Amino acid sequence: MNTQMQSDTAGPAEDERQPPVPQEVLRTWAGRGTGAQCSLCGRSIQVQEVEYEIELAPSGTGRSLYFHFDCYRTWDAQSQRGI
Ligand SMILES: [Zn+2]
């Protein structure tokens, strides 16, 4: 559960890495599907499938994206090519 409220303090930017995607990605990890809706194809990610979760920077939308394994690869390839 992520119900904790965090104050939006503007601290110094220590991480100056620039990811090759339009949106700033904080973390990416893969795991078993949790039934979340895929941000690319819109279908739910089943438990027997691999689920990729992409956490975006709070300065952007401040939310996470969920992808199937194949959808993540498609999205990532499009992101890097579309700049
Ligand atoms: Zn998908």
Residues 6+ apart with CB under 8 A from 58: 8
Q: How far is the CA of 5 from the centre of ligand 1 (A)?
A: 30
Distance 18 CA to ligand 1 centre (A): 26
pLDDT at 82: 54
pLDDT in tens, 34-71: 999 999 999 999 999 999 999 887 755 567 899 999 99
* Ligand 1 centroid to residue 35 C-alpha, Å: 11
Q: What is the pLDDT of residue 31?
A: 96
Contact 27, 15 (CB under 8 A): no
51: CA distance to ligand 1 center in Å? Answer: 9
Report the run of H or E that residue 81 belongs to, with start and end. Answer: helix 69-81
